[in-house]
Each structure stands twice: as C-alpha cells, then as structure tokens.
Structure 1
Amino acid sequence: MKFDLHTHHERCGHALGTIEDYVKQAIDFGLDYIGISDHSPYFYSDEDHLYPTISMKKSEFHAYIEEVLRLKEAYKDKIHVLLGVESDFFPDHLDLYRQQYINQPFDYIIGSVHYVQDVNIFKRGRWDGLSKREKQEVKEEYYRLIAHSAKSGLFQILGHIDAMKGFYPEFSSIQTDVIDKTLKIIGEQDVAIEINTSGSTKDCGGWYPADDILERALYHNVSVTFGSDAHKPERICDEFDLVKKRLKEIGYREWVYFVERKRRVTGL
C-alpha cells in the first residue's frame, strides 16, 4: 500500500498548489491514501494571520477543513483523502489548541515542535556564538518539548523529530542521552513518528529522523509512518520506496496510518 500523510498547500504561504492539485497528483502517482496536513493557524494570537509565510489564517481554518472534506467525497472512487493538520506544539497554549481540534473530523493530527526557546528551529544562525554546553541545552530542550507533546494526548503522529539539523547538520553530533529518553516516552505513549523525507531538501540532506534514531525507536517499540512533507505536488511520496527498503533493513516489519484518529497497520 502506498500513502503519504504529510503535505502542504498554498494556504500556508510557503507551499505551491491547491489541495486538489495534491489529490490529483497522488492519483497519478498511484497512492491509496493521501493525507492533507497544512500548518495550523497561530490560534493564540489576536491577529488573524500572524505569520503569513508560515501558516494559514485563523479565518481560513474551517474553510480548509470543508475543502478537504469536499475533495474526500469528490474523489472517493479514486483515492482515500485524509483530513489532517500539522499542529505547532506550544505547551502554554495546549488547551486552546485542543479546543480547536476536539470537535473537528480529523483523521490525524501531526504534532511538530517548530520553536525552541522562542526561536524557530529552522532559523539560520541560531547556533552562532553558542558554547558547547549551550548547544547541548538547546538540543535537550527540543527533545523535552517533543516528549511533552507525546504525553499531551493530542497527537497521533510526531513530526520530523530531528528537524533541528535541517540547516545545522552538526546538531546530530551534539552528545546527549535525551533522544533515547524521549523515544522511550514516545513508545510508552503509543504515538507514531514519521519518516519525513523533506530533510533531503535542507542542508543536512537525508531524512528526519536519521537511521540511528530509527534503530533506537524500534528498540522502544515506536510505530512509524511516512510523510514527504511535500510543499509542491511533485514531491508527494518522495523516496517512499527507499524509506520502505531501509526500514526493512533496520528491522521494521510494519508501519501505520490513521483514519478517524484510529491507527491502521500495514506491512512493509
């Protein structure tokens, strides 16, 4: 079975194409399931569109949901369209985000940590001038937030769990045992992590997360799923077959996807 649970579209301000463009491309690529999961609005802000090049407007959120549901019905004979969202994880606003999602018909919610110490993880130069100890503290805070997101009960999937390496490849070599502790918590909470192939579009190359993390995730019984994090339709299911092959080599025998927030398991 072929699926992709992580895609974006023009509403977020930094992706190309309409939702329907992604659905049609997924059909052309022979997918069984295509998940639409654009960036959640900044619900905590008084502004409708706090960051126009990062996420959709608050006023667009319900229109987004309605459009995905309409396309789900329109294309039901050709492909399964899943309603998802990639949600920022802000611990101080967790209840607010929970209220926004609780009564919506999401098939799944991806929880992603994009801010550590109030700085975007992809901000170039955020590591400049930091001492070895300070870099370690940033990394440990990043994984503490991921662990917190796993325990929140809000998410079915955790997004790109080593994405801080995106524009700082040296991130991976910062020594700490926090990753193993975090994976243990994720496994205990029974939340899935995604293999996200968009890392290959960043300075780090490769996928999120790296093989060593996937090996430890298997040890901690963490379920895995697939997301290209496509920001243009042509990237849907990018490197899907390579990921599948590598997971088998590591020792995985299955991966998961979600329908109506319920896990479904399929063999590799």
Structure 2
Amino acid sequence: MKFDLHTHHERCGHADGMIEDYIIAALDAGLEVIGISDHSPYFGSKQDQPFPGIAMARSDFQSYVDEVLRLKEKYKDRIEVLLGMESDFFPQHADTYRDAYRNIPFDYLIGSVHQVSGVSIFNRNRWKGLSDEKQISEKTAYYELIQQSARSGMFDILGHIDAMKGYYPAFSDIPANDVIDDTLRVIANCDVAIEINTSGGTKDVGGWYPSDAILERALHFGVNVTFGSDAHKPSRIGEDFELVRKRLKEIGFSQWVFYRKRQQIIVPL
C-alpha cells in the first residue's frame, strides 16, 4: 500500500496548488491513501492570521475541514482521502489548540515543533556565535519540546523530529544522544508514530528526516513510523516513497502505519 500523510496547499501561504491538485497528483503517483495536513492556524493568538505566509487564518479553518470532507466523499471510489492537520506545538497554548480540535472528525493530527526559544528551527542565523554549550542547550530544548508534544496526548504522529538540521547540517553532530534516546523512549511509551519526512531534500541538509541513526534507535525502542513527503507542491506527492520503504527494511523495520479516524492502521513493508 502506498500512502502519504503530510501535504500542504495554498491556505498556508507558502505552498502551491489547491487541495484537489494534491489528490489528483496522488492518483497519478499510484497512491491508495492521501492525507491532507495543512499548517494549523495560530490558535494561541487572538489575531485571525498573525503570520501570513506561514499558516492559515483562523477564519479558514472550518472551510479547510469542509473542503477535505467534501473531497473525501467525491474521491471515495478512487482514493482514500484523510483529514489531517500539521499542528504547531506550543506548551503554553496546548489547551487552546486542544479545544480548537475538539469535535473535528480528524483522521490524524501531526504535532510539529517549529520554534525553540521563540526562534524558528529553520532560521539559518540562530546558530551564529553560539558556544558549544549553548548549541547543546538549544538541541536539548528542541527534543524536550518534542517529548512534551508526545506526552500531550494530542497527536498521532510527530513531524520531522530532527528538522532543526534543515539549514544547519552540523546540528546532527551536536552531542546530545542521551536526550534523543530519552525522546524516543517517551514517544514509544506514548504510542505515537514518527514520520519519515522527505522534505529534507528541499533544504541544505538533503535527504530526509530523521536520520538513519535516529531511525535505528527508533526501531530499538519500538517506535512506529509513517511516511510523509511534506509536499508544498503537487509534484512532490509520494516523493522517495520506495527509497524510504527499502531503507526501512534494511534497518530492520517490518511495518509502518497510517491513521483512519484516529485509529492506527498497520501496513506491512
């Protein structure tokens, strides 16, 4: 079975195409399941859209849900369309986000940490001039936020868990293996999946998230994995799916998962 759970579209302000364009691209790519998971609004802000070009407006949220549900019905005989969302995780606003998602018929929610110490993880300049100790502190803070997101109970999947290396490949060399192992233990204990996210190929680091080393540790701790292209244009749907499947088998995985109505579906590799 071929699936892709991480896709975006024009509502977020930095992706190309409408939702239906991604569904059509998924059909063309031979997928059986396509998840729609655009960036959540900033529910922690009272403004409708405090950061245009980063996430959808609060006023777009219901229309997003309605459109996915309409397309789910329209394409039900051709491909399974899943209603998801990539949700920011801010501990101080977790209850607000949880309330916003209540009573929405999501198939799954992806929880992603996009900011550490108030700065985007993709900010190229955040590492300039930092001492070794401060770099370790920032990496540790990133993984501690990921642990909190797993414990929150809000999410089925955690997004791109080493994406902080996207524009700073040296991130992988910052010594913090203990906190990574602690994070993987927490994720396994909380029965949350991690995605293999192939959008690293669009950034300086190349490849995908997380690294093979982290995937090997994830297998050791019993963490479930899933697949997401993190496509911001329809042509990237399912990108590197077969390469990822092959690599997971080489590492020793025998299955991966997707979600339907917040229930885990196991798919043999």
Matches of 1:182 and 1:59, distance apart in 2: 35
> Helix, strand or coil for the counterpart of 1:108?
coil
Residues 113-136 of structure 1 show CA distances to partners (whole Å, capped at 9, x for unaligned) of: 000001010011110010000000
Partner in structure 2 of residue 174 of structure 1: 174
Partner in structure 2 of residue 92 of structure 1: 92
Matches of 1:44 and 1:211, distance apart in 2: 34
> Helix, strand or coil for the counterpart of 2:201?
helix
Partner in structure 1 of residue 120 of structure 2: 120
Is residue 61 from structure 1 mapped to residue 61 from structure 2 by the alignment? yes
AA partner of residue 248 (structure 2): L
Is residue 20 from structure 1 mapped to residue 20 from structure 2 by the alignment? yes
Kindly report which structure 2 residues correspond to 1:74-223, keeping only aligned pairs within 5 A, or say none: 74-176=74-176, 177-223=178-224
Matches of 1:174 and 1:28, distance apart in 2: 41
AA partner of residue 151 (structure 1): R
Matches of 1:228 and 1:151, distance apart in 2: 25
CA drift of 1:29 comes to 1.1
Matches of 1:33 and 1:161, distance apart in 2: 23
Matches of 1:182 and 1:221, distance apart in 2: 12
Tell me the number of residue pairs that the alignment of Structure 1 and Structure 2 aligns: 268
CA drift of 1:189 comes to 0.7
Matches of 1:84 and 1:112, distance apart in 2: 13
CA drift of 1:30 comes to 1.1
Partner in structure 2 of residue 230 of structure 1: 231
Residues 55-113 of structure 1 show CA distances to partners (whole Å, capped at 9, x for unaligned) of: 00000000000000000000101000000000000000000000011210000000000
> Helix, strand or coil for the counterpart of 2:249?
helix
CA drift of 1:28 comes to 1.1
Q: TM-score, normalization: structure 1?
A: 0.99
Matches of 2:29 and 2:121, distance apart in 1: 32
Matches of 2:179 and 2:46, distance apart in 1: 35
> Helix, strand or coil for the counterpart of 1:133?
helix
> Helix, strand or coil for the counterpart of 2:84?
strand
Matches of 2:258 and 2:230, distance apart in 1: 15
Identity %: 64
Q: CA RMSD in A?
A: 0.4
What stretches of structure 2 of length at least 5 have no aligned partner? Answer: none
Partner in structure 2 of residue 252 of structure 1: 253
CA drift of 1:233 comes to 0.2
AA partner of residue 210 (structure 1): S
Matches of 1:128 and 1:28, distance apart in 2: 43
